[in-house]
Amino acid sequence: MKKDKKDYTENIDRTKNAAVESEKIINEVTSSDYKYGFVTDIETEIIPIGLNEEVIRLISAKKDEPEWLLDFRLKAFAHWQTLEMPRWAHLDIPPIDYQAISYYAAPKKKEGPKSLDEVDPELRDTFNKLGISLEEQMKLSGIAVDAVMDSVSVKTTFKEKLAELGVIFCSFSEAVKDYPDLVRQYLGSVVSYRDNFFAALNSAVFSDGSFVYIPKGVRCPMELSTYFRINAAGTGQFERTLIVADDDSYVSYLEGCTAPMRDENQLHAAIVEIRAHERAEVKYSTVQNWYPGDKEGRGGIYNFVTKRGLCKGDHSKISWTQVETGSAITWKYPSCILAGDNSVGEFYSVAVTNNRQQADTGTKMIHIGKNTRSTIVSKGISAGYSQNSYRGLVRVTAGADNARNYTQCDSLLLSDHCGAHTFPYMDIKNDTAVVEHEATTSKINEDQIFYCNQRGIPTEEAVGLIVNGYAKEVMNKLPMEFAVEAQKLLQITLEGSVG
Amino acid sequence: MKAVQQYIDLLQENRTLIDNHSAPVLNALRDTAIADLQTIGLPDTSREEFLHTDVSAFFAPDYGLNLARVKRVNDPKEVFRCHVPNLGSNLFLFVGDNCHAMCKQSEFPQGVIACSLHEAALSHPHLVARYYGTLAHSDNDGTVALNTALAQDGFFLFVPRGVIVEKPIQLVNIMHGQHDFMACRRLLVVIEEGAQAKILSCDHTIDKGNFLSSQVNEIFVGKNATFDYYDLEESTLNTRRVASTFVRQDEGSNLLINGITLHNGYTRNNYYITLDGPHAESRLYGMAVADKRQVVDNYSFIDHKAPECTSNELFKYVLDEMATGVFNGRILVREGVQKTSAIQTNRNLCSTKEAHIYTQPQLEIYADDVKCSHGATVGQLDNNALFYMRSRGIPEAEARMLLMVAFTHDVIDMVRIDSLKESLHKLVERRFRGTLDKCAGCRICQ
């Protein structure tokens, strides 16, 4: 009898210990620091801070741009001046002084490298620190890497191989020079410079980015990938990506980001435009791991991105997959305009916020064509004092017969100070539409942790397992190479227990 | 802005008239309300919560107001009877905003006060002052400010500690008259600890004029108290209605609100429910059957301020012809409010291309140990079910009707008064069959 009692008290102690343990782990997770913070010292050419017509002319001149592009920039700037920064998002954004930012930073021009050996060793080091060895990538995974260091593309690989098929994959500035007609035809055709405050800003000052054109009937043989880094202190990065997939083509595009640790906030306002013609398919995957600021919320990147895909042709498909772990403030709604009949839009997202991070992210699915389908799966994970919101719109216009949408938004809460919010909008104007929305918010399941503990899996690993399982639906949609990195990122972001 | 100005002018010109025909308790809030109205104006679509319905337009026409409190009918029974068989309720009839008690005070248990707000404000000024205007603040919503500035009467219910009012109280609001008319009504309900009561409120319009009904309800549900509020609207296409219900629930209280819109013109219902004490339970249900150009806009905000509370929300819309449905449901779980369970569901049937539905469920969660979910669907009737019924000889139109009736049943099933439930089932079925919902003996039905 006595022994039993002892066992009982021991059990209680053990349970208590487990509770203490799991709290410790949670604390560790939420206190882990950003691992990829480092600054590479490359001489950059920075123009003075401030934004006016002169600066725009200067950017354009520095990049040797044709007259029509300068016009486009100036029109965008004129429009931007009439706009005010939007405040509707569930975000607490400190005032941004747009005149205190330098709008152009380019690594100093050297003779173009002909092989990897000629690439600046420091730049290569940077990539190596990130675990992206160019050689390895070229040889092993067969990914063409268009590495954007600050604002100008430094190196583009596999160009020749792609050129054989007629695939154009180059930096935006090159595209402006080499394929002006294509760029002119499609630039701003999906995201107009009048679209919103940040789109106008980007259109006025965009520095560089990527341009992809897949010709008719071509299935791009490799995953196209761009690694972005924001590198010089005090510069905003305004890149612009334009992807055009012609009839019957297919491309999978990867975008991955890591940024060095900084004290002052950096503004990032990018635009991604995708245009899919008849029966074309574009898969766009993002892993975003910019510097989120320190534990007190100092520093970190402000990420205000406009991403939109236009399914112009019938039977076209655009799929967005994103893993968001970084940035102090994320404001991002990758959208699909389903204009072609039978077109398909997809959005898969995992957004993790920790410490004082804020994220307001989601998607828009605009059904215009007949028999259009869209799927939205959004998984939010909040820890620390962070705020994580899903905001999405599903609109079925009067002509979009037989539109179908399925939306699922789940939120997982890992601390009692964080917030998880959902703001879905549904505007349905067609009686044949079938639209479903489901959202749940809950904390990590204690039964599941207990079950794992029972079987000898420590709480730390258990939380990792559960979170990875929770996000699996989205992770599965990432290309192989990315899935590994994304999983690592999840672990790093929620390090200690939750990964 | 023009819409607001006419009311401000009217208030300034007729202030003495309004005050003289009302009670000091009600008059005390008018100055602040007018100031608030001047500052914030009436809400239009520029406000996120009013995105799809321009409420300020409801107020734009030039309505008549019965500021001098002229009795508009001599025998209210002649005007209308809304009979719910076997309900056996205590009835109060409102013609415009004039209250006619159709039952005796002695029908109620000892200590219960059930009378017009005007009467109560004169006979129990301290009691009314303690609650009146404390939940419905006029600085956030211009329609509430306007109502507070204009309100002269309404209904007051006070149920003291531990008292159970068995018989439902039925409030029948009638808009009638040959001229465009606006009625401002208040409902103030105080249910003390452990007490129970049920109110059924029916809105009817019996003439063809343009009417605007502005209603503000304040409901205090005390510790372990239970309160049911059923709100049925059967008006006409020329009727506009803005009804805001504010509820504060104390520990362990239980609330049921069921809002049913069958016929209407433009309706905006706001529900603000605050769960102020632990273990409180709140159920908010709503249903709308709309066709022609009916617009039904329901907004709800459930504020979980105390831990271990439960809220359950279900709204269903059936939209036909050119009708528009709007649902905006917001659930807020504040920091540290653990063990919260909040469920929200919105289901909609759209029968034509011209019928629009805008649905916007929102969750804002600042605590981690919670179970919150929302679901929203828009769709059509199940083709398999239709086929099944047709293959058994049920004509398509009938099968459709049956399925639509079934679709709305789970909202009506939540009603906790059997006779009312039965009556609502019949009413809804008749609504779908297109036969005007005739009640047992009202003027228009006869």
Residue A180 burial by CB count (10 A; 0-12/13-18/19+): exposed, middle or buried?
A: middle
Give the model's pLDDT for residue B353: 83
Give the model's pLDDT for residue A141: 37
Report which DSSP code applies to A48.
P
Judged by a CB distance cut-off of 8 A, whether residue B384 touches chain A is: no
In a domain, A12, yes or no: no
Last residue of one domain, picked from the residues A299, A332, A365: A332
Q: Is the Cβ–Cβ distance between A251 and A212 less than 8 Å?
A: yes
A413 contact residues in B (CB cutoff 8 A):
365, 367-368, 370
Residues 6+ apart with CB under 8 A from B424: B232, B260, B412, B415
Mean pLDDT, chain B, whole residue set: 88
Report which DSSP code applies to A126.
H
- How close does chain A come to B348, measured CA to CA in Å? 10
Q: Which residue has the higher pLDDT, B437 or A380?
A: A380
Beta-carbon neighbour count of residue A3 at 10 Å? 7
What Cα–Cα distance (Å) separates residue B105 from each residue in B91, B102, B111? 11, 10, 10
Provide φ and ψ at A461, rounded to 5°.
-65, -35
Q: What is the pTM of this model?
A: 0.80
Last residue of one domain, picked from the residues A332, A364, A391: A332
Whether residues A462 and A318 share a domain: the answer is: no
In this predicted complex, what is the ipTM? 0.73
Give the model's pLDDT for residue A51: 83
**Which of A386, A407, A431 is most worth mutating to test chain B (most B CB atoms within 10 A of its CB)?**
A431
**Smallest CA–CA distance from A408 into chain B, residue:** B375
In a domain, A360, yes or no: no
* Of B335, B356, B379, Cβ closest to residue A435: B379
* Of B355, B366, B376, Cβ closest to residue A431: B355
**Which of A367, A411, A422, A463 is most worth mutating to test chain B (most B CB atoms within 10 A of its CB)?**
A422
Q: Is the Cβ–Cβ distance between B351 and B384 less than 8 Å?
A: no
Beta-carbon neighbour count of residue B46 at 10 Å? 9
* Of B338, B351, B369, Cβ closest to residue A431: B351
Q: Do B363 and A441 touch (CB under 8 A)?
A: yes
Judged by a CB distance cut-off of 8 A, whether residue A100 touches chain B is: no
Last residue of one domain, picked from the residues A284, A300, A332: A332
DSSP code per residue over A378-400 = EEEEE-TT-EEEEEEEEEE-TT-
Domain count, chain A: 2
A422 contact residues in B (CB cutoff 8 A):
361-363, 374
**Smallest CA–CA distance from B51 into chain A, residue:** A425
Walk along chain A (499 residues) and give the pLDDT tens digit of each residue. Answer: 444 545 555 555 555 565 566 566 555 545 555 555 545 555 556 677 778 888 888 888 888 888 899 999 999 999 998 988 888 888 888 888 888 877 776 554 434 444 555 555 555 554 554 455 455 444 333 344 555 544 444 444 566 677 888 888 888 888 888 899 999 999 989 998 888 899 999 899 887 788 889 999 999 887 787 654 444 444 457 888 899 999 999 999 888 655 444 545 578 888 999 999 999 999 998 888 777 777 777 778 888 889 999 999 999 999 999 888 878 889 999 999 999 999 999 999 998 888 888 999 999 999 999 999 999 999 998 888 889 999 999 999 988 999 999 999 888 888 888 888 888 898 988 888 888 888 888 888 888 889 999 999 888 778 778 888 888 888 888 877 677 767 766 766 665 434 3
Task: Reply yes or no on whether the pLDDT at B19 is more than 80.
Answer: yes
B324: enclosing H helix or E strand: strand B324-333
Structure tokens at B131: 């609650």
**Helix, strand, coil fractions of chain B, as percent rounded to 5:** 25, 40, 35
For chain B, what is the radius of gyration of the CA atoms?
21
* Strand spans (E) along A259-343: 266-268, 271-276, 281-289, 301-311, 317-324, 329-332, 335-338
Domain hosting A490: range is: 453-499
* Of B338, B352, B378, Cβ closest to residue A435: B378
Q: Do A425 and B358 touch (CB under 8 A)?
A: yes
Mean pLDDT throughout B59-88?
A: 75
Residues making up chain B, counted from first to last: 446
- How close does chain B come to A115, measured CA to CA in Å? 53
What Cα–Cα distance (Å) separates residue B141 from each residue in A61, A342, B49, B299, B301? 53, 44, 10, 13, 13
**Smallest CA–CA distance from A436 into chain B, residue:** B377
Give the model's pLDDT for residue A138: 45
* DSSP-derived 3-state class of residue A33: coil
Separation between Cα atoms, residue A349 and residue A292, nearest integer Å: 18
Please list the residues that pair with A428 across neighbouring strands. A396, B357
Token look-up 């049921």 returns B256
* Of B365, B370, B377, Cβ closest to residue A435: B377
Provide φ and ψ at B76, rounded to 5°.
-55, -30
From first CA to last CA, the distance across chain A in angstroms is: 42
* Of A396, A419, A424, Cβ closest to residue B364: A419
Judged by a CB distance cut-off of 8 A, whether residue A443 touches chain B is: yes
Percent of chain B residues topping a pLDDT of 70: 94
From first CA to last CA, the distance across chain B in angstroms is: 43
A416 contact residues in B (CB cutoff 8 A):
335-336, 338, 367-369
Judged by a CB distance cut-off of 8 A, whether residue A402 touches chain B is: no
A129: enclosing H helix or E strand: helix A121-129
Beta-carbon neighbour count of residue B24 at 10 Å? 12
- How close does chain B come to A397, measured CA to CA in Å? 9
Residue B394 carries which side chain, given as an amino acid letter? I
Q: Do A416 and B336 touch (CB under 8 A)?
A: yes
In a domain, A212, yes or no: yes
Q: Is the Cβ–Cβ distance between B248 and B306 less than 8 Å?
A: no
A443 contact residues in B (CB cutoff 8 A):
368-370
A419 contact residues in B (CB cutoff 8 A):
335, 364-366
Interface size between A and B, measured as CB pairs under 8 A? 118
Instruction: pLDDT band for B307, please (50, 70, 90 cuts).
Output: very high
Best CA proximity match to B241, nearest among B302, B181, B314? B181
In a domain, A303, yes or no: yes
B357 contact residues in A (CB cutoff 8 A):
426-428
A438 contact residues in B (CB cutoff 8 A):
373-375
Q: Do B363 and A438 touch (CB under 8 A)?
A: no
Mean pLDDT throughout B69-81?
A: 69
- How close does chain B come to A433, measured CA to CA in Å? 6
What Cα–Cα distance (Å) separates residue A157 from each residue in A105, A107, A230? 22, 18, 20
Q: Do A433 and B376 touch (CB under 8 A)?
A: no
B379 contact residues in A (CB cutoff 8 A):
433-436
Q: Do B377 and A436 touch (CB under 8 A)?
A: yes
In a domain, A113, yes or no: yes
DSSP code per residue over B174-187 = EE--SS-EEEEEEE
* Of A416, A430, A436, Cβ closest to residue B368: A416
- How close does chain A come to B150, measured CA to CA in Å? 33
Give the model's pLDDT for residue A126: 47
Give the model's pLDDT for residue B213: 92
Q: Do B353 and A424 touch (CB under 8 A)?
A: no
* Of A416, A422, A433, Cβ closest to residue B363: A422
Listed by number, the residues of chain B in 340-379 with a beta carbon closer than 8 Å to a beta carbon of chain A are 348, 350-379
Whether residues A324 and A473 share a domain: the answer is: no
- How close does chain A come to B332, measured CA to CA in Å? 9
**Smallest CA–CA distance from B372 into chain A, residue:** A441
Judged by a CB distance cut-off of 8 A, whether residue A427 touches chain B is: yes
Give the model's pLDDT for residue A154: 40
In a domain, A90, yes or no: yes
* DSSP-derived 3-state class of residue B287: strand
In a domain, A80, yes or no: yes
Residues 6+ apart with CB under 8 A from A436: A405, A406, A407, B375, B376, B377, B379
- How close does chain A come to B398, measured CA to CA in Å? 19
**Would you tell me the crossing angle of helices A459-475 and A446-454 to the nearest 10 degrees?**
120
Residues 6+ apart with CB under 8 A from A432: A401, A402, A403, B353, B380
What does the pLDDT look like over B109-129, one tens digit per residue? Answer: 999 999 999 999 999 999 999
Judged by a CB distance cut-off of 8 A, whether residue A428 touches chain B is: yes
Give the model's pLDDT for residue A13: 57
A435 contact residues in B (CB cutoff 8 A):
376-379
Instruction: pLDDT band for B241, please (50, 70, 90 cuts).
Output: very high
In a domain, A487, yes or no: yes
Separation between Cα atoms, residue A361 and residue A91, nearest integer Å: 11
Separation between Cα atoms, residue A401 and residue B277, nearest integer Å: 48
What does the pLDDT look like over B308-338, one tens digit per residue? Answer: 999 999 999 999 888 999 999 999 999 889 9
Give the model's pLDDT for residue A175: 87
Judged by a CB distance cut-off of 8 A, whether residue A423 touches chain B is: yes
Give the model's pLDDT for residue A139: 37
Structure tokens at A296: 């007190």
**Would you tell me the crossing angle of helices A480-493 and A459-475 to the nearest 10 degrees?**
140
Judged by a CB distance cut-off of 8 A, whether residue A97 touches chain B is: no
* Of A421, A432, A436, Cβ closest to residue B365: A421
B378 contact residues in A (CB cutoff 8 A):
396, 426, 428, 433-435
Q: Do A433 and B351 touch (CB under 8 A)?
A: no
Judged by a CB distance cut-off of 8 A, whether residue A435 touches chain B is: yes
The per-residue b/e assignment along B433-445, b for 16 or more CB within 10 angstroms, e otherwise, is eeeeeebeebeee
Judged by a CB distance cut-off of 8 A, whether residue A429 touches chain B is: yes
Residues making up chain A, counted from first to last: 499
**Which of B364, B383, B404 is most worth mutating to test chain A (most A CB atoms within 10 A of its CB)?**
B364
Give the model's pLDDT for residue A414: 83
